[in-house]
Amino acid sequence: MTTIQGPAIFLAQFIGDKAPFDSLAGVCAWAAGLGYRGIQLPTLDARFIDLQKAAESQTYADEIRGVVRAAGLEITELSTHLQGQLVAVHPAYDQLFDGFAPDACRHNPSARQQWAVQQLLYAARASQNLGLTACATFSGALAWPLVYPWPQRPAGLIETAFAELGRRWLPILNAFDACGVDLCYEAHAGEDLHDGVSYERFLAEVRDHPRACLLYDPSHFVLQCLDYLEYIDIYHERIKMFHVKDAEFRPTGRQGVYGGYQGWPDRAGRFRSPGDGQVDFKAIFSKLAQYDFPGWAVLEWECALKHPEDGAREGAPFIKNHIIRVTDRAFDDFAATAVNPAFNASLLGL
């Protein structure tokens, strides 16, 4: 069995314009001071990493890794969530998602998609240059506005959407395969890949591609009322990344899963800091240890109530206390007997 690595922290919710959150060295020193051993690095802010340069220059990639290691940390994975989102955008969301793209690509869906694809290709090579084995992303969505079948969906519409989604991602997955890196989709509301069934639809379109893996985040499944423990049993061979994020779902007589268009603090389903919600992390860490999960336990702080710096400060010991140092022997080895084929045969009457 394998001991999960950690604790690590996803930096996306912490980077900003004030020290120590405005530079890679500064935020790494801050994270190390809280007890983290790794950082998951978003890739849209050049102050922290120039993705194209990391893809094209081994020297630059080594410099980035050197800054992180100087703080006593490791880069766990790169994140391309926002770029992945732009690989597939339904026209209803064009204007809203333009904010994720550079100015030159806005109001031009084709140029925006081409930019996003190139970003993913850079991420594959950058991950390889950084010595990483997994990268996080979103699938994007062509069918999400159609998630509830009213009005009735035309026959074949969802199949067409997933066929196109697979067509767009297959060359990207091949590029990641060439670099020896798993591309891990975070199953997430708003994405065409948001649960197990949609993931399996996608796998069928990309021919069960070995690099089409998963980032496991139980918080999204709490909000969907999906069994997040059985999900591990079903998909553990594909789970290569893990976000430690909590959530709670408390439906009332007035609202349920859809939340009545309310803001996060007032929704029946809302994200919380680890330990403040309903996720059974003891069971999750046990299952991941049982299935030899090879990666890191990474805090993703998203909470409707708590201050982010408090969530980060509490997150490192929370993860550390949940990591199971796996055993190297069976608990009943003290009663074991030596291998004796003749004795075994006699016990079976052979």
Q: pLDDT per residue over 63-88, tens digit each?
A: 999 999 999 999 999 999 999 999 99
Q: What is the mean pLDDT of the chain?
A: 96
Read off the tokens for 336: 């074991």
CB 35 within 8 Å of CB 320: yes
Terminal CA-CA length for the chain: 34
SS (H, E, C) 216-232: ECHHHHHHHCCCHHHHH
Percent with pLDDT over 70 in the chain = 99
The answer to whether the predicted template modeling score (pTM) of the entire model surpasses 0.85 is yes
What percentage of the chain has pLDDT greater than the value 90? 94
Q: Spell out the residues 6+ positions from residue 95 whose beta carbon is closer than 8 angstroms to its own.
A: none
Q: Which domains does the chain have, with CATH numbers?
A: 5-347 (3.20.20.150)
**What distance in Å separates the CA atoms of residue 166 and residue 2, rounded to the nearest whole number?**
33
C-alpha closest to that of 9 among 242, 240, 187, 213: 242
Return the exposure string of 3-19: e unless at least 16 CB atoms fall within 10 Å of the residue's CB, then b: ebbbbbbbbbbbbeeee
Confidence of residue 335 (pLDDT cuts 50, 70, 90): low
Which tens digit of pLDDT belongs to each residue from 203-232?
999 999 999 999 999 999 999 999 999 999
Upstream peptide bond of 7 is cis (omega within 30 degrees of 0): yes
User: DSSP for 97-148?
Assistant: HGGGS-GGGTT-HHHHHHHHHHHHHHHHHHHHHTT-SEEEE---BSSGGGSS
